[in-house]
Structure 1
Amino acid sequence: MTETSGPRLAPGVSPGVSPRVALFVTCLVDAMRPRIGFAALKVLEEAGCRVEVPAAQTCCGQPAWNSGDDADAASLARQVIATFEPYDYLVAPSGSCAGTISHGYPELFAKDPEWGPRARALAKKTWEVTSFLVDVMGYAPEGRSLAASATYHDSCSGLRELGVKAQPRKLLGAVDGLEMRPLEGNDVCCGFGGTFCVKYPAISNGIVGEKAAAIERTGADLLLAGDLGCLMNMAGKLHREGSKVRCFHTVEVVAGMADGPAIGEPE
Structure 2
Amino acid sequence: MPPGQSRPQRVYFFSTCLIDVMAPQAGMDAIALLRGAGVEVDFPQAQSCCGQPAYTSGYTDEARRVALAQLELFPEPWPIVVPSGSCAGMMVHHWPRLFADDAALAARAQAVAQRVVEFSAFARDVLGLAEVAPADVAATAAPLSLKVALHTSCSARREMGTHEPSQALLCALPGVEIVEQARVAECCGFGGTFSARHPAISGAMVHDKLNSIRDCGAYVLVSADCGCLLNLHHAAEKRRATGERLPRCVHLASFVRERLGAADAAQQVTD
Distance 1:51 1:207 in 2: 37
The yes-or-no answer on 1:254 pairing with 2:252 is no
| Equivalent residues of 1:47, 1:139 under 8 A apart | no
Cross-structure match for 1:231:
229
Cross-structure match for 1:4:
none
- Residue pairs, 1:149-168, within 5 angstroms: 149-168=147-166
Distance 2:256 2:7 in 1: 24
In structure 1, give the amino acid aligned to 2:2: R
CA 1:179–1:57 in 2, change beyond 3 Å: closer, same or farther?
Answer: same
Among 95, 107, 117, which residue is 1:127 paired with?
Answer: 117
User: In terms of mean alpha carbon deviation, does 191-200 or 78-87 score higher?
Assistant: 78-87
Cross-structure match for 2:43:
53
Unaligned runs of 5+ in 1: 1-6
| Equivalent residues of 2:53, 2:192 under 8 A apart | yes
In structure 2, give the amino acid aligned to 1:190: C
In structure 1, give the amino acid aligned to 2:108: R
- Residue pairs, 1:45-124, within 5 angstroms: 45-124=35-114
Give secondary structure in 2 for the equivalent of 1:84. coil
Cross-structure match for 1:8:
2
Distance 1:135 1:67 in 2: 33
1:225 shift after superposition: 0.7
1:218 shift after superposition: 1.3
CA 1:115–1:182 in 2, change beyond 3 Å: closer, same or farther?
Answer: same
1:17 shift after superposition: 5.7
Distance 1:112 1:248 in 2: 40
Distance 2:254 2:96 in 1: 31
CA 1:47–1:194 in 2, change beyond 3 Å: closer, same or farther?
Answer: same
1:178 shift after superposition: 1.6
Among 137, 140, 151, which residue is 1:143 paired with?
Answer: 137
Give secondary structure in 2 for the equivalent of 1:57. coil
| Equivalent residues of 1:22, 1:87 under 8 A apart | no
Distance 1:79 1:259 in 2: 32
| Equivalent residues of 1:150, 1:181 under 8 A apart | yes
| Equivalent residues of 2:29, 2:266 under 8 A apart | no
Distance 1:118 1:186 in 2: 36
- Percent identity reads 36
| Equivalent residues of 2:254, 2:267 under 8 A apart | no
Distance 2:266 2:12 in 1: 26
Cross-structure match for 2:189:
191
Give secondary structure in 2 for the equivalent of 1:56. coil
Unaligned runs of 5+ in 2: none
CA 1:259–1:110 in 2, change beyond 3 Å: closer, same or farther?
Answer: closer
1:259 shift after superposition: 5.3
Give secondary structure in 2 for the equivalent of 1:44. helix
Distance 2:253 2:202 in 1: 26
Give secondary structure in 1 for the equivalent of 2:76. coil
1:105 shift after superposition: 0.3
| Equivalent residues of 1:21, 1:50 under 8 A apart | yes
CA 1:42–1:259 in 2, change beyond 3 Å: closer, same or farther?
Answer: closer
Distance 1:175 1:94 in 2: 20
1:77 shift after superposition: 0.8
Distance 1:210 1:31 in 2: 27
The yes-or-no answer on 1:218 pairing with 2:240 is no
Give me the TM-score of the superposition, normalised by structure 2.
Answer: 0.88
Among 255, 263, 266, which residue is 2:269 paired with?
Answer: 263
Give secondary structure in 1 for the equivalent of 2:58. coil
- Residue pairs, 1:19-58, within 5 angstroms: 19-58=9-48
Give secondary structure in 2 for the equivalent of 1:97. helix
Distance 1:149 1:247 in 2: 13
